[in-house]
Structure 1
Amino acid sequence: MSLDDRKLDVLRAIVQDYVSTQEPVGSKALVERHHLRVSPATIRNDMAVLEDEGYIRQPHTSAGRVPTDRGYRLFVDKLSRIKPLSPAERRAIERFLIGAVDLDDVVHRTVRLLAQLTRQVAVVQFPSLSRSSVRHLELVPVSTTRIMLVMIADTGRVEQRLVELPAPTPETDVLRLRTAANEKLGGQRLVDTPPLVQDLVDESEPGLRPAMGALASVLLETLVERTEERIALAGTANLTRGGILDFQGSLRPILEALEEEVVLLKLIGSAEPDTATTRVLIGDENEIEHLRATSVISTGYGPGSTVVGGMGVLGPTRMDYPGTIATVSAVARYVGEILAQN
């Protein structure tokens, strides 16, 4: 059965009131607080239909109603207007992020900011190397047989490795190695580099080939074989304020789930290909069992249209969805702009 506009208005009012008051909502309160222009008896009939359809339910101890996961889902899909951020909120985001000194600082500022603005648990994935491109390769001689390889990605992520050379190598040869590596790999996506690294060795002049072979093996390890992803987390103390308990009435399984990086990566949808897509998982929609008492709002972020990582927040199903969606989207946009400028 599809709901008419009035019943959708009643559901919207119930969700908004329950989120703001944390109390079950009765028909009398709806009539008093919202201009629904119908009698309390009509509202009661509409609430009965919403309850039959599974959008609201009646807690045992109350005459009022609270939204179900299904009700929140309908609210998010059809009813919520994305609440624009105020100029003060936008300025606060800009000021907080603009002072970041490097990529690590950007990520840690972002996760703290999200937790503060939404008063939920915030999760930010560091830019994934698998989605990054090579901006520059620097080779720094440490001794005649050892050089430091510094790989700078387009996201600002920096990786350093020591390369043991098979024989003493003059600095002029190190410069030639660096020039050849940058010409071949500069601007290339990391996932596309393995055959190019092999070409570097194959195309080297005989005198440089042993040194290039040593550099190539470390390059492959740096560019390709680093599969681990890093995650920043903030605001877990907000769980105690939000009234979230799992189905056994405990916070512990939720906290334990949040300690698993694999769980966090799944949560924020790091595989989402479209940076503009904001994903909302409500209650039972979450595939992670211990997090089914929660909702997750997440999006991808990155420079321009490129997605290099995910970010999001986790909180009770009773959350301010329009405001939280707007905040997550805005913060992701600002971080993307910072990465594009670097």
Structure 2
Amino acid sequence: MVSERGLQVLRAIVQDYVDTREPVGSKSIVDRHHFGVSAATIRNDMALLEDEDLIAAPHTSSGRIPTDKGYRVFVDHLAEVRPLSPAQRAAITSFLDEPADLDDLLVRTVRSLSRLTGQVALVQYPSFARANVSHVEFVHLGGGRIVVIVVTDTGRVSQRMGFLQGDLDEADVAHVKAAIAGLVTGASVRDGLQAIGAFLAAPGDGGRVDAAVRGVARILAEELEEFRQDRLVMAGTATLARSEADFRGSIYPVLEAIEEQVTLLRLMSEMVADEQGLAASIGRENEPFGLAEASVLTSDYDPAGSPARVGVLGPTRMDYPTNLAAVRAVAHYLGRLLDEDERAR
């Protein structure tokens, strides 16, 4: 059981080690933090923390550094996540102001968060499986070339190019548009996919227009299927080069996880948030995902009932209070912008 002063000593070691990247000794704690006790007393507290595997000595006769377990206890005992400064909040607001569309907003989000924290920033796309298809447009470019454009009531706009066998006249194009719109307009993404599947499973008349409708339906199904897939937007991967020394082993597993988004998506989906929507997964807690030397901090945002997460990834030696505050603030602004956009529709 760690005493209250022991927790304060642990907090001092974490803060000093994050600031200096140097092991922390009892004398520096006494000099910098004014505990009102002797260095010998602090050494006793440090010995107890070491017995609990909360700190460790990286070298013989050196100071101490936090362990992964120590970082976890530090985060769990944060009295509060300190708010960002007015300047930091203004920077977030300015950076996220008036995005062109959802894709632009999420790109701005991760760039802003990476600048605030100096870490790799991540944001999940909302799941659009529950979104409704508000409009489908089929543009015939001539010959067999077409573009299928899909708009959902959550603001997502996407397009996919495809090719059809044979040419179509204006009447054919109008018929195809009407048939496709009748299949999915007003339906959820999930229901629209089911409607397309049932349509394609039914026998057709084998005519030219029926073949065109089926061709467009297949292209539309591919696009709607992507709406159901989790995706990440990331920024700040280059920041890992500045903190490579903080990874005791190889930085390669972290880079591989960034390259293979499915690992990070799975990790983020399994993290358990507190009552504020914040979650932290630290060091060895990430070992099943190949990220035993990294920490991931996330905050929930909930656009139109499609919950998703914003977060940062970096070495375990990071400024947890500041990074958690930044993640929470950016998630708040992102959620608010998406809610405002939803109400405006």
- Could you say whether these structures have the same fold, taking a TM-score greater than 0.5 normalized by the shorter chain as the test? yes
Deviation for aligned residue 1:135: 3.3
Deviation for aligned residue 1:25: 1.8
2:333 aligned partner = 334
2:78 aligned partner = 79
Deviation for aligned residue 1:231: 3.8
Question: What are the equivalent positions in structure 2 for 1:51-70 lying under 5 Å apart?
Answer: 51-70=50-69
Question: What are the equivalent positions in structure 2 for 1:135-150 lying under 5 Å apart?
Answer: 135-143=134-142, 147-150=146-149
After superposition, the Cα gap between the structure-2 partners of 1:259 and 1:165, relative to the gap in structure 1 and judged at 3 Å, is closer
TM-score by length of 2: 0.81
Aligned-partner residue type, residue 33 of structure 2: H
How many aligned residue pairs are there? Answer: 337
TM-score by length of 1: 0.81
The CA deviation string for residues 239-269 of structure 1, in whole angstroms up to 9 with x for no partner, is 2322445444x434443443223334334x1
CA distance in 2, matches of 1:146, 1:255: 39
Partner SS state of residue 77, structure 2: helix
Could you tell me whether the CA contact under 8 Å between 1:25 and 1:66 is conserved in 2?
yes
Deviation for aligned residue 1:187: 4.8
Range with bigger deviation, 325-334 or 191-200: 191-200
Range with bigger deviation, 114-123 or 283-292: 283-292
After superposition, the Cα gap between the structure-2 partners of 1:304 and 1:168, relative to the gap in structure 1 and judged at 3 Å, is closer
Deviation for aligned residue 1:84: 0.7
Identity across matched positions, percent: 44
Deviation for aligned residue 1:132: 4.4
CA distance in 1, matches of 2:147, 2:318: 49
Question: What are the equivalent positions in structure 2 for 1:93-104 lying under 5 Å apart?
Answer: 93-104=92-103
Could you tell me whether the CA contact under 8 Å between 2:244 and 2:251 is conserved in 1?
no
1:123 aligned partner = 122
The CA deviation string for residues 83-126 of structure 1, in whole angstroms up to 9 with x for no partner, is 21112111101111114223332232222222211111223344
After superposition, the Cα gap between the structure-2 partners of 1:167 and 1:258, relative to the gap in structure 1 and judged at 3 Å, is closer
Deviation for aligned residue 1:195: 2.6
After superposition, the Cα gap between the structure-2 partners of 1:322 and 1:186, relative to the gap in structure 1 and judged at 3 Å, is farther
Could you tell me whether the CA contact under 8 Å between 1:300 and 1:310 is conserved in 2?
yes
After superposition, the Cα gap between the structure-2 partners of 1:201 and 1:233, relative to the gap in structure 1 and judged at 3 Å, is closer
Two-structure CA RMSD over aligned residues (Å): 3.6
Deviation for aligned residue 1:282: 0.9
CA distance in 2, matches of 1:192, 1:29: 64
Deviation for aligned residue 1:18: 1.6
1:323 aligned partner = 322
Deviation for aligned residue 1:53: 0.7
CA distance in 2, matches of 1:69, 1:271: 19
After superposition, the Cα gap between the structure-2 partners of 1:182 and 1:278, relative to the gap in structure 1 and judged at 3 Å, is farther
CA distance in 2, matches of 1:143, 1:252: 48
**2:26 equivalent to 1:27:** yes
Aligned-partner residue type, residue 27 of structure 1: S
Partner SS state of residue 303, structure 2: coil
After superposition, the Cα gap between the structure-2 partners of 1:338 and 1:186, relative to the gap in structure 1 and judged at 3 Å, is farther
Question: What are the equivalent positions in structure 2 for 1:208-219 lying under 5 Å apart?
Answer: 212-219=213-220
**2:279 equivalent to 1:255:** no
1:278 aligned partner = 278
1:298 aligned partner = 298
CA distance in 2, matches of 1:76, 1:42: 24
1:287 aligned partner = 287
After superposition, the Cα gap between the structure-2 partners of 1:273 and 1:60, relative to the gap in structure 1 and judged at 3 Å, is closer
Partner SS state of residue 100, structure 2: coil
CA distance in 1, matches of 2:13, 2:2: 15
After superposition, the Cα gap between the structure-2 partners of 1:138 and 1:15, relative to the gap in structure 1 and judged at 3 Å, is same
The CA deviation string for residues 129-161 of structure 1, in whole angstroms up to 9 with x for no partner, is 546442321233434976532112324241324
Deviation for aligned residue 1:302: 4.5
2:239 aligned partner = 238
Aligned-partner residue type, residue 46 of structure 2: M
Partner SS state of residue 295, structure 1: strand
The CA deviation string for residues 29-83 of structure 1, in whole angstroms up to 9 with x for no partner, is 2233224344433322221111101111122144422111001001111225212
Could you tell me whether the CA contact under 8 Å between 1:201 and 1:212 is conserved in 2?
no
Consecutive unaligned residues of structure 2, counting only runs of 5 or more, are: none
CA distance in 2, matches of 1:55, 1:165: 67
